[in-house]
């Protein structure tokens, strides 16, 4: 709830009437702000996972080709061939990449919308509205 | 006058928007306390809903990866019927034991409430897939609800601020008149 301070202040200089349209813009801004926060959190997590996966595939490059790999599935480890493990890691990596792309474009959307809303709101309410994160 | 009084798909009521402060509190000289109190109560209700939804979301945050893990294991069993299945399974936090899985087409799924049920592997996959979908829908809905609640909270915040500011301004004007 940090983004939107109350309109006006003790001096009550905010004589500007708030219309439903303004209210909707404020709502949207607040919504995008929170959404962006969530997305950034997810994005950090996904990026860490991606790095771990990269480390893993680097590690497996050095592994003995004929020796099976113990791969963690759920709470247990199963022994599978190196080739299969690499395939699995590749597939996981791809799905992570597309997830990251999706999150990034969603974040861009939020930022774009927020800056548009900010222009509208700032021009009407000047300094009696606080739109920073 | 309030407007846009509706609710979202999960029946969370929308907060009324105050179009005109004077009209809302009922006249130029009407008191503001009851209106302020009303919005305060409303904000508390939304806060309460928000907390319970955040809890729900948190439990789904655990549940979804859990289902995914189980599903991955069952699929692995399904895809590796013929080959030998050497595994290390967890006995305790830091203790794993080796086990060789027999070729099987039945798995036991933990259903909660101290119950485990046996399923043929394809049935198990279908069941888990379905559970995963349900959990993901529920997660999406919780997110939508949270955004909706946030919007309503913003409305109540703005309403409160406007009524408050109206009152401050009115009092100041009164004082200025008296001083003259």
Q: B25 burial class (0-12, 13-18, 19+ CB within 10 angstroms)?
A: buried
Q: What is the CATH number of the domain that holds B151?
A: 1.10.287
Mean pLDDT of B116-128: 92
A99 interfaces chain B, CB cutoff of 8 Å:
no
More confident residue, B22 or B38: B38
Residue B5 has pLDDT above 70, yes or no: no
Interface contact flag, A74 B86, Cβ < 8 Å: no
Average pLDDT value for residue range B99-115: 83
What's the CA gap between B31 and B11, in Å, rounded? 32
Give the pLDDT confidence of B155-173 residue by residue, as tens digits: 898 888 888 888 888 888 8
pLDDT tens digits along A49-97? 999 999 988 888 887 777 888 888 878 888 888 888 888 889 989 999 9
pLDDT score, position B84: 65
Interface ipTM above 0.90: no
Number of residues that make up chain A: 133
Beta-carbon-side half-sphere exposure of residue A85 (alpha carbons within 13 Å): 24
| Strand ranges inside B78-165, DSSP E | 85-92, 95-101, 106-112, 115-120
Q: Which residues contact A23 (CB under 8 A, 6 or more apart)?
A: B17, B154, B155, B158
Task: Supply the pLDDT for residue B4.
Answer: 53
**Averaged pLDDT score across all residues of chain B:** 86
Residues near B125 by beta carbon (within 8 Å), at least 6 away in sequence? B71, B74, B75, B78
* Total CB pairs under 8 A between chain A and B: 86
Examine the pLDDT at B2 and tell me if it is beyond 50: no
CA pair distance B102, B4, nearest whole angstrom: 63
Beta-carbon separation of A31 and B168 below 8 A: no
Q: What is the β-pairing status of strands B95-101 and B85-92?
A: antiparallel
Interface probe, candidates B75, B108, B147, chain A, greatest A C-beta count within 10 A: B147
CB B165 within 8 A of CB B21: no
Check if A93 contacts B (Cβ < 8 Å). no
Is residue B19 assigned to a domain? Answer: no
Nearest to B147 among A4, A31, A74 (CB): A31
Q: Is residue B149 a part of any domain in this protein?
A: yes
Domain boundaries, chain A: 21-123
Under an 8 A CB cutoff, do A6 and B69 touch?
no
Distance CA B21, CA B89 (A): 66
Is the CB of A30 less than 8 angstroms away from the CB of B154?
yes
Residue B118 is predicted with a pLDDT of 92
User: Which residue of A71, A74, A113, A130 to mutate against B (max B Cβ within 10 Å)?
Assistant: A74
The residues in A 2-41 lying below 8 A from B, measured between CB atoms, are 4, 6-10, 12, 14-15, 17-20, 23, 26-27, 30-31, 34-35
Residue B56 has pLDDT above 60, yes or no: yes
Q: Is A72 touching B (CB cutoff 8 A)?
A: no
* Whether the Cβ atoms of residue A4 and residue A30 lie closer than 8 Å to each other: yes
In the predicted model, is pLDDT for residue A133 greater than 70? no
Question: Is the model more confident about A12 or about B164?
Answer: B164
B14 is a domain residue: no
Instruction: Report, at the CATH architecture level, how domain A21-123 is classified.
Output: Orthogonal Bundle (1.10)
Phi, psi of B88 (to 5 degrees): -110, 125
Alpha carbon distance B148, B7 (integer Å):
9
Give the sign of the dihedral formed by CA A88, CA A90, CA A95, CA A97.
positive
Instruction: Measure the CA–CA gap between B148 and B173, rounded to whole angstroms.
Output: 38
For residues B64 and B136, the answer to whether their CB atoms sit within 8 Å is: yes
Q: How far is B68 from chain A (nearest CA, A)?
A: 8
Residue B66 lies in domain: 32-80+121-169
Nearest-CB residue to A74 (from B73, B153, B154): B73
- Number of compact structural domains in chain B: 1
Residues in a beta bridge with B108: B118
Per-residue pLDDT of B64-103, as tens digits, reads 999 999 998 888 888 877 666 778 888 888 888 988 877 7
pLDDT at B51 over 70: yes
Helix/strand/coil (H/E/C) assignment for every residue in A53-114: HHHHHHHHHCCCCCCCEEEEECCEEEEECHHHHHHHHHHHHHHHHHHHHHHHHHHHHHHHHH
């Amino acid at each position: 709830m940090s983004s939107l301070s109350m309109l006006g202040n003790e001096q009550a200089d905010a004589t500007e009437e708030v219309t439903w349209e303004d209210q909707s813009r404020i709502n949207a801004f607040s919504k995008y702000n929170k959404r962006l926060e969530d997305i950034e959190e997810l994005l950090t997590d996904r990026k860490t996972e991606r790095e771990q996966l990269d480390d893993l595939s680097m590690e497996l490059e050095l592994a003995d080709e004929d020796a099976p790999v113990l791969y963690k599935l759920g709470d247990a480890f199963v022994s599978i061939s190196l080739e299969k493990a690499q395939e699995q890691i590749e597939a996981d990596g791809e799905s992570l990449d597309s997830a990251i792309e999706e999150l990034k474009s969603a974040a861009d959307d939020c930022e774009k919308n927020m800056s548009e809303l900010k222009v509208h709101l700032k021009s009407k309410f000047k300094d009696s509205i606080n739109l920073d994160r | 006058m309030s407007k846009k009084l509706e609710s979202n798909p999960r029946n969370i009521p929308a907060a009324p928007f105050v179009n005109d402060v004077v009209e809302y509190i009922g006249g130029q000289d009407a008191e503001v306390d009851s209106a302020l109190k009303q919005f305060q109560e409303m904000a508390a209700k939304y806060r309460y809903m928000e907390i319970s939804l955040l809890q729900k979301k948190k439990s789904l945050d655990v549940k979804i990866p859990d289902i995914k893990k189980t599903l991955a294991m069952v699929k692995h069993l399904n895809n590796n019927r013929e080959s030998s299945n050497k595994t290390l399974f967890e006995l305790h936090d830091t203790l794993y034991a080796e086990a060789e899985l027999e070729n099987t087409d039945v798995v036991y799924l933990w259903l909660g409430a101290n119950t485990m049920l046996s399923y043929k592997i394809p049935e198990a996959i279908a069941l888990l897939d379905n559970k995963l979908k349900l959990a993901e829908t529920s997660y999406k809905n919780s997110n939508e609800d949270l955004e909706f609640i946030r919007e309503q909270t913003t409305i109540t915040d703005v309403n409160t601020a406007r009524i408050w500011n109206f009152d401050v301004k009115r009092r100041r004007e009164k004082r200025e008149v008296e001083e003259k």
